[in-house]
Structure 1
Amino acid sequence: MPSHRPVSRKILLTGVVTIISAAWLYGCEQNTAINGFETYHQRLAKVLDTDPLAPSLTDPLAFPATRSLLIPVEEIRVDLLDAYELRKCGLFHLIAERNSILGKVQDKTRQLRYELLLLNGLQHCLDTLPQDNDLLPMLTRYSSQKRAQLPLHTWNMLTTGEEWRQQFTAYPHPFPLGTFYGFDEALAAFTFVQSILSQNNINKNELALESSKLAAKQADTLLTHQKQIHPYHYVAQLEYSLQFATEWLDTSTRLLEQNESRILCGPNRNQQKAEYLQNVFYKFFVADIQPYLAELDSQYRQIQPVLATLLTKPGAPETGANTVLARYRQYYVDGELHAAFRAATLNHVKFWQRTFKRCNMKIGAQ
C-alpha cells in the first residue's frame, strides 16, 4: 500500500506558508491610527493650499531597568524540626516544595502565589493547632513578618516579572482605530493585584480567617491573570497612544491656526474653503478620530488610579536615586501626559468651534 506521508507533508507545508504569508501581509498593513491622523492632517493642508507640517513624534519614556527596581526580600527560614511538626496542620508540604530545587527558581508570579498560600496555611495552623502548642508563638511571629513582606513580593512581581513588566516597557505602537488590545485583561489583572494588597492591609497584626480563605483562591487566580496579560503590552501601548495622539493633534491645530486667515467667512464672501474644511472635520475627525480620543481618555481614567497605587514603591518615599522611575510616574501615571492630551484635544475642538461660529456654520450640520 503506498504511503501518504509525502501528501501530508505537502499539506502541512502549504498551511505553514499560508500562515506566514498572512502574518507578513498583516504586518505590512499600516496602523489605522497612524493612517487616520496622517490623512486628516494632509486633507486639512490640501484644502488650505499649504504644505503639511511634520509632527514632533518623540520616543516613549523608558521604564527603569529590572536591577534598579528589584527590592531584596529577607529570607525567613523555619527550622526543619519545627517544620516537620507542621504536618499536623498541612503546612509542611508547602514549605518543603518551596525549598526544593524547582521551588527556588520560580518566576515572580509563582513566588507571590507561594506567599499567599503560605499566609493561608499559617492561619490554618494558628486556627487548628492546640492552644498550648509550642509552635504558636513562632507561627504568629512568622505570619506577621510574611504579611509585612507581601507588598515587596508584589512590587517585585509587577516591576521585574516578565509578563507584568512587559505592560510598562516602552512599546511605540499606537492602538489602531477602534481596537484596544488587552484593556479588559490588564484592568482585571491590576485590579486583582490591588485587591491582594488591600486585603493584606485590613489588619496588620493578625490575618483574619476570611482573608486567609481569600488568599488561597487568589493564589491560583493570580496565575490566570498572568497568562491573560501575556500576549499584550497594554499599559505601554495606551501610554504611547495618548502621546501619539497629543503630538498629532497639536500639529494639526498649529496648521489650522497658522492658516486661519485663509479661511474666509462672512456676508458676500466665498466660504467654499470653510465648507470644504467642515467636510474634512466631519469625515475624518468626528467619524474616526474623536471616538478614538474618547476611548483613550476613558480607558486611562479607569486604569490610572489602580496603577497609581501599584507603582508606589513600598517603604521610604522616592529619592533622587531613581529619577527614571520618578519621571516615568510623573509623566504617565500621575497625569502629566493625560493633561497634555486633554489640552490638545480641547484646543483642537475650540479652533473648530470658533471657526464654525465665525462662519455661521451650525455644529452638527454637514
Structure 2
Amino acid sequence: MLLASTIAACTDNSPLATQWQDYQSRLARVLQRQAEPHRDIAFPHMPKPRELPLEFSDSGIDLLDFLRMRRCALRDTIAQRNSILGRHGDAAARLIFDLRFISQAATCQKILEDDGLIALAAQLKTATQTKQRELPARIFAASLTGPEFRQFWQMPVDLNVYPLKGKDPSLAALARWRQWQTEWLSEPQVTAAWSSIEWQQFSDTLLNTLGEIRLGAGGSMLAAQQLNVNGLIGASSIIAQRVNGRPLCLKPQPIPAAEHFRGALSSVFISQLQAQASRINQHQFAVMAVIGSIEHDVLAAMTKNNLAIPSAFIEWQTQRDSLLFVTTEAQRHHVTLASALLSQCGLSPGN
C-alpha cells in the first residue's frame, strides 16, 4: 500500500505510472523487500507573474514632441503604442512596438536634424539607446516569462498521451524564435525600411509563433521525468537492500528468485520503462537544446546591460535543470545496482 501510494501521489494513471507500479511491485515480491520511504522530487512550477517583476523606462517624448515628428514613420508607431490597445497590450505586443521604435528611430532622427529640430533629435537618440539597452528584458518578458512559455512548461493533467508519438509541435517555433532573438540582440534596427503592412505581417507571424510554442510538451516532459526519478529512487531502494544487506544469493549461482529478478528487469524495466525513457530523453534533448540557447543568450544580454533578472526565475530554472540531472543520475545508479545484484547471483548483466 505504501508503494502504490508513493507512485500515485506523484502522477496519474497513465501507462508510464502503471509500468512503474508494476515494476516496483514485482521487485518487492521477488526480492522480499519494500521500497524505503523517500521525499518525492517535486514538479518545478514556474513562478507566478507577480514574482517576476521587471521595470522599464518611459521614452520621455510628450505630445508636443510627437506632433513635430510629422514626417517620421515613427510617429505612427508611437501613436499606436499610446493608444488604448497599445497601453494595455501584453509583453509580446510591447516587444513589437519597441522593435519598431528602434528600427525606425535612426531615420526619424536624421529627418528631425534636417528639419532643424536638433534638441528633439538628441532626445530621440537618448530614448532609442534606452530602448536598445532594455530590449533583452522586453524579449525576456515576451518569451521566457510570457503566457505561451508558461503554458509550455505547465504541469499536464495526465501523461496519457506522453511520450509523444510524433515530433513536438513547438520545436520549429522555438527554433524560429531563437533565430529572431539572435537578430534582435545584434541588429534590431535592420528592418527600418519596413512598411506598416510588413510590420503587421511580422506581428501576426510573431504572435502565431508564440501560439505554436504554447502547444509544446515541456511540462509533460518534466512530469514524466519527475515520475521516472521518483520511480527509480523507490526501485533502487528495494534492490539496494539486497546488494548492501542480506544477499539474494549466498553463492555466485542463480536461484529461482534471481531468475525472476532478471525477468522483471527484462520484461518491465528494459522492454517498457527503458524504451519509454529513451523517447522521453530524446524529447528532452531536443527541447533543452533550443530552450537552453534562448535562455542563455537573453539572460547574458540582460546581465551585460545591467538589467535585473528576477531571482524567482533563476530559482525555477535551477530546480528544473536539477530535476533533469537527478533523473539521469538515478537512471545510472539503478542500472549499477541491478548489475551488482545480477553479478552477486552469477548472472551476467549483459544477458
> What TM bracket, shorter-length normalisation?
0.7 to 0.9
- The answer on 1:342 being equivalent to 2:323 is no
Cα drift, residue 78 of structure 1 = 2.8
Which residue in 1 is equivalent to 2:271? 287
* Superposed CA offset, 1:161-182 (max 9, x none): 322333445x276745852499
Cα drift, residue 342 of structure 1 = 1.6
**Is the contact made by 1:47 and 1:273 (CA closer than 8 Å) also made in structure 2?**
yes
- The answer on 1:202 being equivalent to 2:190 is no
**Is the contact made by 2:137 and 2:307 (CA closer than 8 Å) also made in structure 1?**
no
Which amino acid in the other structure matches residue 259 of structure 2? E
- How many residues align structurally? 325
Cα drift, residue 230 of structure 1 = 3.1
**Is the contact made by 2:239 and 2:341 (CA closer than 8 Å) also made in structure 1?**
no
Judged with a 3 Å threshold, the aligned counterparts in structure 2 of structure 1 residues 296 and 66 are, in CA distance, closer, same or farther, namely same
Cα drift, residue 58 of structure 1 = 4.2
Q: Map 1:325-340 to 2 at 5 A.
A: 325-332=313-320, 335-340=321-326
* Superposed CA offset, 1:311-362 (max 9, x none): 838355879xx66444323222xx4333321211101111222334444444
Q: Map 1:185-224 to 2 at 5 A.
A: 185-202=169-186, 207-209=188-190, 216=199, 219-224=203-208
Which residue, out of 354, 357, 365, partners 2:340?
354
Which residue in 2 is equivalent to 1:18? none
Scaled by the length of structure 2, the TM-score of the pair is 0.75
Q: Secondary structure at the match of 1:166?
A: helix
Which residue in 1 is equivalent to 2:163? 179
Q: Secondary structure at the match of 2:323?
A: helix
Higher relative contact order (CA 8 A, sep 6+): 2
Q: Using the alignment, how far apart are the partners of 2:81 and 2:29 within structure 1?
A: 66
- The answer on 1:94 being equivalent to 2:70 is no
- The answer on 1:35 being equivalent to 2:35 is no
Which residue in 2 is equivalent to 1:48? 31
Cα drift, residue 287 of structure 1 = 1.7
Judged with a 3 Å threshold, the aligned counterparts in structure 2 of structure 1 residues 327 and 144 are, in CA distance, closer, same or farther, namely closer
Which residue, out of 104, 123, 133, partners 1:121?
104
Which residue in 1 is equivalent to 2:296? 309
Which residue in 2 is equivalent to 1:132? 114
Judged with a 3 Å threshold, the aligned counterparts in structure 2 of structure 1 residues 51 and 186 are, in CA distance, closer, same or farther, namely same
Judged with a 3 Å threshold, the aligned counterparts in structure 2 of structure 1 residues 326 and 210 are, in CA distance, closer, same or farther, namely closer
Scaled by the length of structure 1, the TM-score of the pair is 0.73
Q: Using the alignment, how far apart are the partners of 2:223 and 2:270 within structure 1?
A: 22
Unaligned runs of 5+ in 1: 1-28
Which amino acid in the other structure matches residue 292 of structure 2? P
Judged with a 3 Å threshold, the aligned counterparts in structure 2 of structure 1 residues 36 and 318 are, in CA distance, closer, same or farther, namely farther
Give percent identity, aligned residues only: 20
Q: Using the alignment, how far apart are the partners of 1:55 and 1:288 within structure 2?
A: 24
Q: Using the alignment, how far apart are the partners of 2:193 and 2:21 within structure 1?
A: 54
Which residue in 2 is equivalent to 1:83? 66
Which residue in 1 is equivalent to 2:150? 165
- The answer on 1:229 being equivalent to 2:213 is yes
Judged with a 3 Å threshold, the aligned counterparts in structure 2 of structure 1 residues 178 and 158 are, in CA distance, closer, same or farther, namely closer
Q: Using the alignment, how far apart are the partners of 1:284 and 1:225 within structure 2?
A: 40
Judged with a 3 Å threshold, the aligned counterparts in structure 2 of structure 1 residues 31 and 328 are, in CA distance, closer, same or farther, namely same
Judged with a 3 Å threshold, the aligned counterparts in structure 2 of structure 1 residues 182 and 357 are, in CA distance, closer, same or farther, namely same
Judged with a 3 Å threshold, the aligned counterparts in structure 2 of structure 1 residues 183 and 239 are, in CA distance, closer, same or farther, namely farther
Q: CA RMSD in A?
A: 3.7
- The answer on 1:109 being equivalent to 2:96 is no
Q: Map 1:9-28 to 2 at 5 A.
A: none
Cα drift, residue 76 of structure 1 = 1.0
Q: Using the alignment, how far apart are the partners of 2:323 and 2:61 within structure 1?
A: 48
Judged with a 3 Å threshold, the aligned counterparts in structure 2 of structure 1 residues 154 and 212 are, in CA distance, closer, same or farther, namely farther
Q: Using the alignment, how far apart are the partners of 1:256 and 1:103 within structure 2?
A: 61
**Is the contact made by 1:119 and 1:146 (CA closer than 8 Å) also made in structure 2?**
yes
Which amino acid in the other structure matches residue 305 of structure 1? G
Q: Secondary structure at the match of 1:88?
A: coil
**Is the contact made by 1:70 and 1:156 (CA closer than 8 Å) also made in structure 2?**
no
- The answer on 1:148 being equivalent to 2:133 is yes
Q: Using the alignment, how far apart are the partners of 2:257 and 2:72 within structure 1?
A: 81
Q: Secondary structure at the match of 1:141?
A: helix
Cα drift, residue 150 of structure 1 = 1.2
Q: Secondary structure at the match of 2:212?
A: helix
* Superposed CA offset, 1:119-167 (max 9, x none): 333355468x487244554443333222112112222224653223334
